[in-house]
Amino acid sequence: MQSKTIDHEALKHYKPIDCKHFIDGVFVDSDSDRVIQNMNPATEEVIGSIAIGGESEVDRAVKAAKRALTGPWKDLSAFERSGMLRRIGDEILKRKEELAFIEATDTGKPYSLALEMDITRAAHNFYFFADYLTSMGTESYQQDQKALHYAIRRPVGVVGMINPWNLPLLLLTWKLAPCLAAGSTAVMKPSEWTPMTATLLAEICKEAGVPNGVVNLVHGFGADSAGEAITKHPEVDAVTFTGDTKTGTAIMKAAAPSLKKVSFELGGKNPNIIFADSDLDEVIDTTLKSSFLNQGQVCLAGSRIYVESTVYDTFLEKFVARTEELNVGNPFDPDADMGSLVSREHYEHVLGYIHLAKEEGGTIVTGGAELPSSVEKGCYVKPTIITGLSQTARCVQEEIFGPVVTVIPFETEDEVIEYANDTKYGLGTTIWTNDLRRAHRVAHQIEAGIIWVNTWYLRDLRTPFGGMKGSGVGREGGAHSFDFYSELSNVTIKL
C-alpha cells in the first residue's frame, strides 16, 4: 500500500473532547452528573469523559425537538433548509482535519481513512440532500375530468437516531441530513464507544444556524438507558437504527406499542462470489478492501469469499501474499493500512471467533492477534484468512465484524448461489465475472438488498440502500430516505 503524508505538527492543535449532551441548543451535563471514561482503543488510554443520560435527558430532548417543529424551523422554505444543509457541509469540510483526528482517536481507524472517507462523505451527505430537497416532487393524477389527486409531503416529526460505532460521523450524517431536509427534528444517540464526532456535529449545526431544538444529542447506553428511552418515548414519531440484528429486534419490540416508523440497517455476512472467468488481479485489489477496510468493521464487508475451484489455489496464494503486505499500526502512522479495533471488548469478541475457527477444523492461513512492533498496547488484530471450514461452521454463518474472512471453493453456479443465500442475513453481495449473462442471472437469484458486479462499495446516493431478512427493515437513499423522514397525504379535488 502507498504510504500517506500526515502533518503531525498541525495535528498537535487538536485534542480529544469531553462529551456532553446537546439539548435545545445548549451543551449540558447529565441530570445525575453521571459520566464514564472515553478510551482510545489504539493506546487504551483515557482521553476524556462522556455524560451518560437516560429517561430525563431524553424527555427534555424530545420535548425540545417537538417544540421546534412549530417554531422558526417550520417557516423555513425548502430553499432556506437547503442552504442550511449546505452550510453544515461547508463547516464539516472546514474542520475536516480536526474531525478526522477526533474520529481516528475515538475509533482506532487510520487517520488517513477517516480524512478521505468518513469526513468527506459526511459533508457530501449534506450536499446531496441539500440538492435533492429542491429538485424532488410528489405524485399527481387526473381522474378523467372528474377529479385531480395530488400528494403533499410533511415532516414525520421527531426522529430518534441510534448510531453505531464503526463509521460514527458518516452514518450519523446519512440519517441527519435527510431528516433536516424533510423538515423533521432529531434526537441523536451515538455509540458510547465513539461519541466525539457526534458532539462536534451538534456544535457545527448550531454554528450553521440550525434553530434551537431541531438537533439534539443525548449520550448513553442502549438497554435501560438513553437508547431504550428514545425508542419508548411516546412523542418520538420514528426511530432509525444502524447496528446489530439483536438490538434491532429489541428496538422494534419497544417501538411497537406506539406504532413508530422504524428504519433498520442491521448486520451482514456478505458473500463475495468469484468466478474463474474474472480478472483475479482486479478481484484481489478490491477484495482486500472489502475484507479489511476499517479493520473489517463494515456492515458491507465481503467476509464470506467463495472461489470457483479451478482458480481457488491461485486466488488464495495471491490473496494471502497481498494481505500479508498490509501494515497494521497506530492510526497516525502514515504507513498504517489498518489501525486497531474499536474496543477491548470487541477485540475479545473477534479473537474468540479466530479461536473458534480452529476448533471448527479451520486453518488460519495468515493473521491473528499480534501487536505491531511500533506500538506497546492496543486492540490490534492482523488481517486474518481462514480456510477449511464447512458452510455450516459458526465462523461462516455468524457476523464477526472484524478483519476476518473465510475462503471456500465451489464447483457450480447453482452451488454458490445456494451457499450465498444460506444465511440469516441479506445485506450485500459482490459477484465477479466477465460473463454478462451470468452476472444478471446470478444477481437475480441472490437474496440481498445491495448487489455489486465487478466492484464493491460503489454508491449512488439516489439508489435504495438496505437489507432483507436479518439485515434490516426499509431502505435509505434519495426518495427512500424522504419517504421515511416525512409523511404523505393525498388531496382529492372534485372537478
Q: What is the mean pLDDT of residues 209-235?
A: 96
In a domain, 459, yes or no: no
Which pLDDT tens digit goes with each residue over 335-390?
999 999 999 999 999 999 999 999 999 999 999 988 888 888 999 999 999 999 99
In a domain, 461, yes or no: no
The answer to whether the CB of 276 falls within 8 A of the CB of 434 is no
One domain, residues 95 and 169: yes
Q: Which of 19, 179, 205, 299 is an active site residue?
A: 299
For residues 28, 30, 33, 37, the Cα torsion angle rounded to the nearest 10 degrees is -90
The CATH number of whichever domain residue 361 belongs to comes to 3.40.309.10
Does the active-site annotation cover 265? Answer: yes
Give the integer Cα–Cα distance in Å for 45 and 62. 34
Kindly tell me the burial class for residue 470, based on how many C-beta atoms sit within 10 Å of its own C-beta (0-12, 13-18, 19 or more): buried
What is the domain count for the chain? 2
The answer to whether the CB of 151 falls within 8 A of the CB of 490 is yes
Give the integer Cα–Cα distance in Å for 479 and 439. 27
In the chain, % of residues over pLDDT 70: 99
Q: What is the mean pLDDT of residues 91-113?
A: 98
One domain, residues 50 and 104: yes
In a domain, 420, yes or no: yes
The CATH number of whichever domain residue 150 belongs to comes to 3.40.605.10
Give the contacts of 4 (CB within 8 A, at least 6 positions apart): 112, 334
In a domain, 463, yes or no: no
Sheet holding 158-162, edge to edge: 26-28, 21-23, 215-217, 185-189, 158-162, 238-242, 261-265, 472-473
* pLDDT level of residue 197 (50, 70, 90 thresholds): very high
State residue 198 phi and psi, 5-degree precision: -65, -40
pLDDT at 437: 98
* pLDDT level of residue 176 (50, 70, 90 thresholds): very high
One domain, residues 130 and 99: yes
One domain, residues 205 and 253: yes
Give the integer Cα–Cα distance in Å for 458 and 461. 10
Q: Which amino acid is at 237?
A: D
pLDDT at 3: 53
One domain, residues 158 and 21: yes
Q: List helix spans (H) across 244-279.
A: 245-255
- Cα 427 to its chain centre, rounded Å, is 12
* pLDDT level of residue 297 (50, 70, 90 thresholds): very high
* Alpha carbons within 13 A on the beta-carbon side of 340: 33
Which pLDDT tens digit goes with each residue over 432-444?
999 999 999 999 9
One domain, residues 146 and 199: yes
Which pLDDT tens digit goes with each residue over 206-215?
999 999 999 9
- Cell triple for 125: 451527505
In a domain, 168, yes or no: yes
User: Higher confidence at residue 260 or residue 370?
Assistant: 260
One domain, residues 285 and 261: no
In the chain, % of residues over pLDDT 90: 95
The answer to whether the CB of 61 falls within 8 A of the CB of 177 is no
- Cell triple for 456: 464493491
Does the active-site annotation cover 379? Answer: no
Give the integer Cα–Cα distance in Å for 274 and 431. 6
Which pLDDT tens digit goes with each residue over 15-59?
999 999 999 999 999 999 999 999 999 999 999 999 999 999 999
One domain, residues 386 and 482: no
The answer to whether the CB of 54 falls within 8 A of the CB of 225 is yes
pLDDT at 404: 98
Give the integer Cα–Cα distance in Å for 170 and 264. 16
In a domain, 412, yes or no: yes
Give the integer Cα–Cα distance in Å for 204 and 378. 31
Angle at 227 between CA 223 and CA 232, to 5 degrees: 90
Which pLDDT tens digit goes with each residue over 444-456?
999 999 999 999 9
One domain, residues 420 and 484: no
Q: What is the mean pLDDT of residues 222-230?
A: 95
pLDDT at 210: 98
- Cell triple for 241: 437504527
- Cell triple for 347: 477485540
* pLDDT level of residue 2 (50, 70, 90 thresholds): very low
pLDDT at 245: 93
In a domain, 163, yes or no: yes
Mean pLDDT of the chain: 96
The answer to whether the CB of 107 falls within 8 A of the CB of 168 is yes
Give the contacts of 196 (CB within 8 A, at least 6 positions apart): 16, 17, 19, 38, 48, 102, 103, 105, 106
One domain, residues 124 and 259: yes
One domain, residues 258 and 394: no
Which domain range does residue 362 map to? 271-453
Q: Which of 57, 228, 265, 308 is an active site residue?
A: 265
Give the integer Cα–Cα distance in Å for 36 and 462. 39
Give the integer Cα–Cα distance in Å for 63 and 52. 19
Q: What is the mean pLDDT of residues 54-68?
A: 98
pLDDT at 9: 87
In a domain, 458, yes or no: no
One domain, residues 193 and 226: yes
